[in-house]
Chains A and B, each alone.
Chain A
Amino acid sequence: MTTAFIILLLPLIAATLILLVTRNRPDVSAYVSVVSAAICFLLTLGLMGESGPAGSFDWLNVGGLELKIALEITGLAKGMMLVVTLVGLLVHIFSLGYMKDDAAKARYFAGLSLFMFSMTGIVLADNFAMMFIFWELVGVSSYLLIGHWFRKNSAAEASKKAFLVNRIGDFGFMAGILLLWGATGEISFAGLSETLGRETYDPALLNWAMVCIFCGAVGKSAQVPLHVWLPDAMEGPTPVSALIHAATMVAAGVFMLAKLTFLIVAAPVAASVIQHVGALTALIAALMATQQSDIKKILAYSTLSQLGYMVMAVGFSGFVFSGEVLGVSASNAGFFHLYTHAFFKALLFLGAGAVIYACHHEQDIWKMGGLLRLMPVTAITFLIGTAALAGLPPLSGFWSKDAVMAAAQNNTLLLIVGAMTAFLTAFYMSRLCTVVFFGKSRSLAASEASEVPFVMRVPLIILTVGAVLSGFKFAYGWFLNPDELPHPKGALPLVLSLIGIAGIAAGYLIYRGRDKDPIRVKVFARKFYIDEAYLFLVRLLQDGLAHVAKAVDQLLIDGLIVRGSARITSGVGSLLRGLQGGNLQSHVFLFGLGVIVIIYLITITITSR
């Protein structure tokens, strides 16, 4: 039993314990979960020195297929484990305050523990099959947590939507895994990397496989066109949004892509698809974020946009510039942004959670205002998080965004898209902060707000430290080699920080002292009508299919098969009723005749042979 296995199994044990034993003792359940998260974090710190395989056992051997439950510690996995366990622990602690009076606290914490288990499984998995299983488990725990307040119709709908949309992506993921396995016969990452290096395969096959696998990432990391579930997922409790829908689970897609850099390098077409999908997501999500009025929705679209950045950066690992593939350095940039983003986005979400908590579960930013005076700690940490997200030097977001843009610097189109997104990011975050924290209170709830309790402040402060420092070499150097990051050319960092400052200034100037949104762009506010388009498409397909099915049903099924067979049955039945006399001896008589006929037939066949 290695440390890695203990980290994997501990949250599962906690979840089981809560569901089976302490279910009716919400406080005990909460502490069970928090303690398991804390132990996991400490064990993860101990894991930092290790690398390579960390224990495995056979699961099943069928023919040529050998499935193993095997753990593997790589640089990426170490960085991801730190994010998962640290943010996870802080969210657990924050939840102690946020979910204090919730009726189903035990179920909530069981869900969190289950999520920690599944996420650890994804991060440490050494083969595709295991990763896929935990991939689905993460989907399940996300479903459970989004639908935590399942009596609210919108929450139930949102959890269903998240699950179904994810399933679409996962289907592609599975198809990709099967394609690769069918072609190479390998299912473990190490074996796959080695086989791809040793033998040459049809590039079309690799491209298709990679695009299919990317579908999984599109679903989990909410890229266009499967992004629709993430904003709706904000129906879940805010700490869940911070943990799952900002810092960790949605980053799983990026993590998986970064882990598959060797495959992206070998599949240039797929790499190009990944870059463009990521850039598109980054831009349109940022545009949508500028017109939302729900504080969590703004952060959700911001998350989408940042995920687009990461995916784009990872996609650039297959980008060829002057005869050289960018390779690992680009995917490292994407992962670096994932790492820093996890801290400041979790901080922003928990800050939003604190604001929502203080304003009695009010989420509309136009009903808040002036909170800087009333809850200074929350406001200041939130502002620092905003600055980090906007990419102001020397905060963490600056360094990682820099690396991402450096990966894109040789592709002018995507570089411009990235720069526009950076401006929009600064703009909408500045809008959010100006409306929420400055000016005067616009509602009774906001004017009565007060600072949140201690257990909720501590995670905010710790995450602020992370948001400030995680961009420096000492904070990431032990799992990412700083020399393997792309190096920005010329004045790129300066331009980027100027763009960030310009965005913040624009947002502040436009929104200072306003009580209503002065800019109205309906297309952005209605999210480019994508939801409506899906609804229309689904209706069109469904209704068309339903009409055809109805016709078939009435004519063929009802008329011919059901009624026809019923008529035949009743006809034959009334014929056979005569035989079914209920009289034992008539049955015996028929039976005897049957025996005679059978003997006759058998002897004929024997003698004629």
Chain B
Amino acid sequence: MPTLNEYLMVSGLLFAIGFAGVMMRRNIIIIFMCLEMMLSAANLTLVAFWRFGNGNGMPADGYEAQVLVFFVIAVAAAEVAVGLAIIVALFRARCTVHVEDLNSMKG
């Protein structure tokens, strides 16, 4: 049977892949997808800790962890909607989705 460490490692890898995507890609939509991946990795960690919460491979008593994950998913959905709307507005204003072209904040 898989151990808690394996789950945590898998979730860490997913997070790292997401981070690499954010670092390397220039398309802002794909960067946004990678952000979602990182968020999901965190969810996986939460659920894993819940499942191994009892100390001997049995789930913890309460359901707070799952409720938290549920809320995270819901908030993430709202975030995606707003984020995509911002991307659309940005695209209208600048006609680009490449982050290298979006450098008006350069100091």
Residues of A within 8 A of B (CB): 576-577, 580-585, 588-589, 592
Please indicate the chain A residues that have their CB under 8 angstroms from the CB of B99 in the complex.
583-585
Flag whether B44 is at the interface (Cβ < 8 A): no
> Please, how many angstroms separate the alpha-carbon atoms of A576 and B22 in the complex?
23
Q: Is the CB of A582 within 8 A of B103?
A: yes
Please indicate the chain A residues that have their CB under 8 angstroms from the CB of B19 in the complex.
588, 592
Flag whether B100 is at the interface (Cβ < 8 A): yes
Q: Is the CB of A577 within 8 A of B22?
A: no
Q: Is the CB of A580 within 8 A of B106?
A: yes
> Please, how many angstroms separate the alpha-carbon atoms of A585 and B24 in the complex?
8
Flag whether B1 is at the interface (Cβ < 8 A): no
Q: Which B residues, 69 to 107, have Cβ-Cβ distances below 8 Å to chain A?
A: 99-100, 102-107
Q: Is the CB of B102 within 8 A of A584?
A: yes
Please indicate the chain B residues that have their CB under 8 angstroms from the CB of A581 in the complex.
103, 106-107
Flag whether B23 is at the interface (Cβ < 8 A): yes
Q: Tell me the minimal C-beta distance from A592 to chain B in angstroms.
A: 6
Q: Is the CB of B23 within 8 A of A585?
A: yes
Q: Is the CB of B107 within 8 A of A582?
A: yes
Contact-size category for B:
10 to 19
Please indicate the chain B residues that have their CB under 8 angstroms from the CB of A576 in the complex.
107
Q: Is the CB of B106 within 8 A of A582?
A: yes
> Please, how many angstroms separate the alpha-carbon atoms of A589 and B105 in the complex?
17
Q: Tell me the minimal C-beta distance from A563 to chain B in angstroms.
A: 23
Q: Tell me the minimal C-beta distance from A588 to chain B in angstroms.
A: 5
> Please, how many angstroms separate the alpha-carbon atoms of A580 and B23 in the complex?
16
Q: Tell me the minimal C-beta distance from A583 to chain B in angstroms.
A: 6
Please indicate the chain B residues that have their CB under 8 angstroms from the CB of A589 in the complex.
23
Q: Contacting A583 at CB < 8 Å: which of B22, B24, B31, B100?
A: B100
Q: Is the CB of B106 within 8 A of A588?
A: no
Interface centre among A581, A583, A584 (most CB of B within 10 A): A584
A and B contact pairs by CB, cutoff 8 A, 5 listed: A577-B107, A582-B105, A582-B106, A582-B107, A583-B100
Q: Tell me the minimal C-beta distance from B30 to chain A in angstroms.
A: 12
> Please, how many angstroms separate the alpha-carbon atoms of A282 and B9 in the complex?
94
Please indicate the chain A residues that have their CB under 8 angstroms from the CB of B100 in the complex.
583
Q: Tell me the minimal C-beta distance from B90 to chain A in angstroms.
A: 12
> Please, how many angstroms separate the alpha-carbon atoms of A190 and B22 in the complex?
76
Q: Is the CB of B23 within 8 A of A583?
A: no
> Please, how many angstroms separate the alpha-carbon atoms of A583 and B107 in the complex?
10
Known contacts A583-B99, A584-B99, A585-B99; A592 and B107 CB within 8 A of each other: no
Nearest B residue to A577, CB-CB: B107
Please indicate the chain B residues that have their CB under 8 angstroms from the CB of A582 in the complex.
103-107
Q: Is the CB of A588 within 8 A of B22?
A: yes
Q: Is the CB of A592 within 8 A of B23?
A: yes
> Please, how many angstroms separate the alpha-carbon atoms of A583 and B24 in the complex?
12
> Please, how many angstroms separate the alpha-carbon atoms of A585 and B22 in the complex?
7
Q: Is the CB of A580 within 8 A of B22?
A: no
Q: Which B residues, 16 to 47, have Cβ-Cβ distances below 8 Å to chain A?
A: 19, 22-24, 31
Please indicate the chain B residues that have their CB under 8 angstroms from the CB of A577 in the complex.
107
Please indicate the chain B residues that have their CB under 8 angstroms from the CB of A588 in the complex.
19, 22-23
Nearest B residue to A580, CB-CB: B107
Q: Which B residues, 42 to 72, have Cβ-Cβ distances below 8 Å to chain A?
A: none
> Please, how many angstroms separate the alpha-carbon atoms of A592 and B38 in the complex?
13
> Please, how many angstroms separate the alpha-carbon atoms of A589 and B19 in the complex?
9
Q: Tell me the minimal C-beta distance from A591 to chain B in angstroms.
A: 9
> Sorted from nearest, which 3 A-B pairs have the closest CB atoms?
A582-B106, A580-B107, A582-B103
Apart from A582-B105, A583-B99, A585-B22, list 17 A-B contacts with CB within 8 A.
A576-B107, A580-B105, A580-B107, A581-B103, A581-B106, A582-B103, A582-B104, A582-B106, A582-B107, A583-B103, A583-B106, A584-B31, A584-B102, A585-B99, A588-B19, A588-B23, A589-B23
Please indicate the chain A residues that have their CB under 8 angstroms from the CB of B106 in the complex.
580-583
Nearest B residue to A595, CB-CB: B19
